[in-house]
Structure formats: structure tokens, C-alpha cells
Amino acid sequence: MTGTNRVKLKPGDTIGILGGGQLGRMLAMAAARLGLRCQVFSPDPDSPAFDVVLNATCAEYADVEALELFAGDVDVITYEFENVPSAAAMVLDARRPVLPNRKILETTQDRLAEKDFVTRLGIGTAAYADVTSVASLREALFRIGLPAVLKTRRFGYDGKGQAIIREGDDIAKVWTSLGTKSAILEAFVPFEREISVIAARSADGQVECFDVTENEHRDHILKVSRAPAPIPDDLAEEALHIAGKIATELDYVGVLAVEMFVLANGTGPKVLVNEIAPRVHNSGHWTLDGASVSQFEQHIRAIAGWPLGKPVRHGQVTMTNLIGDEINRYEDWLTVPGATVHIYGKGAPKPGRKMGHVTEVVRPNGK
Ligand SMILES: Nc1ncnc2c1ncn2[C@@H]1O[C@H](COP(=O)(O)OP(=O)(O)O)[C@@H](O)[C@H]1O
Ligand SMILES: [Mg+2]
């Protein structure tokens, strides 16, 4: 739909959110504080976001009638995950503004399209190649070298749909185990650390970034984020510049995250883009308690056509994910001085499932 830039909500208006996970839940909570209502669309009856909104649509993304009714109930539509099926986005887009727009989903749903886009902007990524067969994998490995990371082009998350290829590995076996003909091979980046930038962009082009965050993964799942990342100012500026440029070039409205690798000194370009998430992001959860305005509120403001906040960080912030069984220790966290506990209200803890998080802020005066 053209005219997405004309969205201007008033308190009492309703935002439609596709996806009912913890990100949708935290978006709806941020919207409520600003006097905006949300209606959540999710196929999963146990969606944690359903608990915090009055109206929910529990239906499949292929259910056109449900999508149409949902669109009729809301003033603007956004999403909490990037794998919104394009057919569903089209149905909605014909009826209500969808922000960020549908074309952005096409770029960010596909690791190859995403890397081509970043490369066209003159921003560095790991060397990469399109891979569609074991023969093209061998060719790509010859060019890119070992170790390398083979990833499915679509639907990967938390390290799923990827395999590291090392010297001596059985290439044919790795290819078969990936289970797709649509893949990308990337050079393995010997990074010093991983960082991300959460950027918000308004419909009139205002960009506000949060401070660069350092991210520590365990078993490919984000475990701890720290803001600000302990990196030199020039590197931080470069990272912020990259995120701002990506948001602007995508003509983005809302919050996006750019994950990056920082390379050790003297090993080439210092910052490489790993991936773009066209949504609020786990590495920005610290902003809920550690900044004057959170990533969730910035996203809501942007899609509402409201001015963005100028985020001020309250101190050194650490966010720790509670993954799987770790949630069972929530009572211990509740009594840690200075800790703020978030529990997502999901069902049973499963290994690798993100169940909650804890934020700790050390203020500049050490308190
Ligand atoms: N080319 C690479 N070189 C080194 N490590 C990588 C590379 N690609 C991914 N990784 C590691 O795997 C993690 C997950 O990969 P990523 O591409 O971000 O996929 P997703 O987060 O969608 O699962 C990264 O955060 C990083 O730790
Ligand atoms: Mg990632």
C-alpha cells in the first residue's frame, strides 16, 4: 500500500502485531504505556503475547479470511519475526499499512539477498557464495577456503540451519545434512567479538541508534549482552554509521538490528555485517531497563508516525537471557540487588528456549 508514510496514530488506536512470542508481548506492553492498543495474530494458542492484549486472532498465516478480519480491526500492522509469509503480507498490505514494508522482508528473509544488498552499499561482510549443489559447494570452498560456514538461505535462527566445514570434513555429507538446495557459504570470520546496533527510523527519516552492544553466544544462542560494547570510539562510530545507512537505504520505518563481527587489529576491515533483523531484537532487551526509551517503544513510535525518543543510557547495562531450565531459578534472580527480572510466560522450558531475561544496570556513580 502506498501512503504508509501517512500513518499517524492517536492514543486509543490499534496496532496489529503478527507473531505472538516474547517480542510481540514486549511490543504490546510498550504500546500500552503510550495509550495504544494492540491486536496479536498468531497461529499458536499458547502465544505469550496473547496474555497482554484484549484482542487476539489465533489463525494460520495462510487463512486469508482471518487476515482480512484482522486487518479490518487495526490501524497499522507490524511484525515481531521476519519470516512472515509473503502471501500473508500481500493480503494485509492491500488493506492496511504494513510497517516495515513488505519489500524489506524479501531482502532480509534471504541471507543471499541480504548480503548482496549490504555489499552494494559498500559495507563489508564475510566472503560468501551462492550454493545450490554439492558441486557448487566444492567450487565455493575452493574460492573461500576453510574453515567456512554453510547456512540455509532461509528460516535459520539461533544457529539452526548451519554447519561449520573444517579441513577433512566429508563435503557431500555436510551438503546432504543441510537438507536444502538453497544455501550460502561464508568464510569463517575469526572475530574478536560480536556486536549489534539497534537502530530506529521514523517515517520522516529520523534515525536514532542505541549504543553499540556486545553479544556473547552460548551454543549459538544469545546468552549475555553488554552495553556499551567495550570497543574504541571510532569502531563504535563505524558500527552506528553502518546501521544508520542500512536503515536509510531500506527506507525503513521501525526498529532493526544489525549484527556485526569485530575483527582483531590488522586483519583487514574492522567491522563486518553478519545479519540484519527487521524487527526488535534480543540484543536490545537491555534498553527496557537500561535506557530512557526502549527498543520496543521506539518501534511503536516509528510505526505510529510519532517522533522517536533520543535514548539516554542509564549506565553500564548487562542483559542475561534465561534459557530453558534456567527460568526455574527466577526466585533467586528476584532478590539480586539491582536486577530487573522479565518472565515471558511461556509454557514448559525446553532446552534452548528463551524463557525470560534479567537486566542489571551499574549507574555512573557506581550505585
Ligand atoms: N561466517 C561466520 N564466521 C564465524 N562465525 C559465524 C559466522 N556466521 C555465523 N557465525 C556464528 O554463528 C552465530 C549465528 O549465526 P547467524 O548468521 O547470526 O544466524 P542466526 O542468528 O540466524 O542463527 C553468529 O552469531 C556467530 O556466532
Ligand atoms: Mg544471528
Residues 55 and 233: their CA atoms lie apart, in Å, by 45
Q: Is there a single domain that holds both residue 29 and residue 74?
A: yes
Q: State the average pLDDT over residues 292-302.
A: 98
- Ligand 2 centroid, distance to 163 Cα (angstroms): 14
Backbone angles phi, psi at 253, to 5 degrees: -125, 115
Asked, for residue 112, whether it belongs to a domain, the answer is no
Residue type, 356: G
Whether residue 303 is predicted with pLDDT greater than 60 in this model: the reply is yes
Give pLDDT tens digits for 142-165. 999 999 999 999 988 888 899 999
- The CATH number of residue 143's host domain is 3.30.1490.20
Q: Are 83 and 161 in contact (CB under 8 A)?
A: no
Asked, for residue 116, whether it belongs to a domain, the answer is no
Q: Is there a single domain that holds both residue 248 and residue 138?
A: no
The answer to whether the CB of 181 is under 6 A from ligand 1 is: no
Pairwise pLDDT comparison (6 vs 330), residue with the higher score: 330
Structure confidence at residue 4 (pLDDT): 47
Backbone angles phi, psi at 334, to 5 degrees: -60, -25
Q: DSSP assignment of 236-275, as one string? A: HHHHHHHHHHHHHHTT--EEEEEEEEEEPTTSS-SEEEEE
Q: State the average pLDDT over residues 70-90.
A: 96
Q: Is there a single domain that holds both residue 231 and residue 336?
A: yes
Whether residue 81 is predicted with pLDDT greater than 90 in this model: the reply is yes
Q: Are 225 and 283 in contact (CB under 8 A)?
A: yes
Q: Is there a single domain that holds both residue 158 and residue 286?
A: no
- Ligand 2 centroid, distance to 159 Cα (angstroms): 7
The answer to whether the CB of 345 is under 6 A from ligand 1 is: no
- Ligand 2 centroid, distance to 220 Cα (angstroms): 8
Asked, for residue 105, whether it belongs to a domain, the answer is no
Whether residue 70 is predicted with pLDDT greater than 50 in this model: the reply is yes
Give pLDDT tens digits for 169-189. 999 999 999 999 999 999 999
Q: State the average pLDDT over residues 60-76.
A: 98
Residues 19 and 178: their CA atoms lie apart, in Å, by 26
- The CATH number of residue 337's host domain is 3.30.470.20
Give pLDDT tens digits for 34-67. 999 999 999 999 999 999 999 999 999 999 999 9
Give pLDDT tens digits for 215-268. 999 998 999 999 999 999 999 999 999 999 999 999 999 999 999 999 987 766
Q: Is there a single domain that holds both residue 196 and residue 345?
A: yes
Listed residues 79, 98, 117: the one ending a domain: 98
- Dihedral-angle region of residue 354 (phi above 0 means left; psi in -120 to 50 means alpha; beta otherwise): beta
Q: Is there a single domain that holds both residue 181 and residue 43?
A: no
Asked, for residue 21, whether it belongs to a domain, the answer is yes
Q: State the average pLDDT over residues 68-88.
A: 96
Residues 310 and 282: their CA atoms lie apart, in Å, by 20
User: What's the mean per-residue pLDDT of the chain?
Assistant: 95
Listed residues 165, 187, 209: the one ending a domain: 187
Q: Is there a single domain that holds both residue 217 and residue 348?
A: yes
Host domain of residue 158: 127-187
The answer to whether the CB of 114 is under 6 A from ligand 1 is: no
Percent of the chain with pLDDT over 70: 97
Taking CA atoms only, the protein residue closest to ligand 1 atom 26 is 220
Whether residue 3 is predicted with pLDDT greater than 90 in this model: the reply is no
The answer to whether the CB of 159 is under 6 A from ligand 1 is: yes
Residues 21 and 144: their CA atoms lie apart, in Å, by 37
The answer to whether the CB of 156 is under 6 A from ligand 1 is: yes
Listed residues 162, 187, 212: the one ending a domain: 187
The answer to whether the CB of 137 is under 6 A from ligand 1 is: no
- The CATH number of residue 80's host domain is 3.40.50.20
Residues 175 and 274: their CA atoms lie apart, in Å, by 22
Full-prediction pTM beyond 0.85?
yes
Angle at 243 between CA 240 and CA 246, to 5 degrees: 150
Q: Is there a single domain that holds both residue 346 and residue 230?
A: yes
Whether residue 18 is predicted with pLDDT greater than 60 in this model: the reply is yes
The number of angstroms, rounded, from the C-alpha of 339 to the middle of its chain's C-alpha atoms is 24
- Dihedral-angle region of residue 118 (phi above 0 means left; psi in -120 to 50 means alpha; beta otherwise): alpha
Q: State the average pLDDT over residues 201-207.
A: 97
Asked, for residue 367, whether it belongs to a domain, the answer is no
Q: State the average pLDDT over residues 101-126.
A: 96
Asked, for residue 107, whether it belongs to a domain, the answer is no
Q: Are 218 and 282 in contact (CB under 8 A)?
A: no
Q: State the average pLDDT over residues 194-216.
A: 98
Whether residue 357 is predicted with pLDDT greater than 90 in this model: the reply is yes
Structure confidence at residue 158 (pLDDT): 85
Half-sphere exposure of 201 (CA within 13 A, CB side): 24
Whether residue 345 is predicted with pLDDT greater than 50 in this model: the reply is yes
Give pLDDT tens digits for 307-343. 999 999 999 999 999 999 999 999 999 999 999 999 9
User: The cell 511490543 sits on which residue?
Assistant: 27
Q: Is there a single domain that holds both residue 172 and residue 160?
A: yes
Residues 279 and 166: their CA atoms lie apart, in Å, by 33
Asked, for residue 103, whether it belongs to a domain, the answer is no
Structure confidence at residue 6 (pLDDT): 80
The number of angstroms, rounded, from the C-alpha of 206 to the middle of its chain's C-alpha atoms is 20
Q: DSSP assignment of 86-128, as one string? A: HHHHHHHHTTS-BSS-HHHHHHHT-HHHHHHHHHHTT--B--E
Asked, for residue 121, whether it belongs to a domain, the answer is no
- Ligand 1 centroid, distance to 127 Cα (angstroms): 13
The answer to whether the CB of 10 is under 6 A from ligand 1 is: no
Q: Are 74 and 48 in contact (CB under 8 A)?
A: no
Whether residue 269 is predicted with pLDDT greater than 70 in this model: the reply is no
Q: Work out the pLDDT band at 365, boundaries 50, 70, 90.
A: confident
Distance from the first to the final alpha carbon of the chain: 50
Q: Is there a single domain that holds both residue 159 and residue 202?
A: no
Number of domains within the chain: 3
Q: Is there a single domain that holds both residue 181 and residue 328?
A: no
Q: Is there a single domain that holds both residue 244 and residue 315?
A: yes
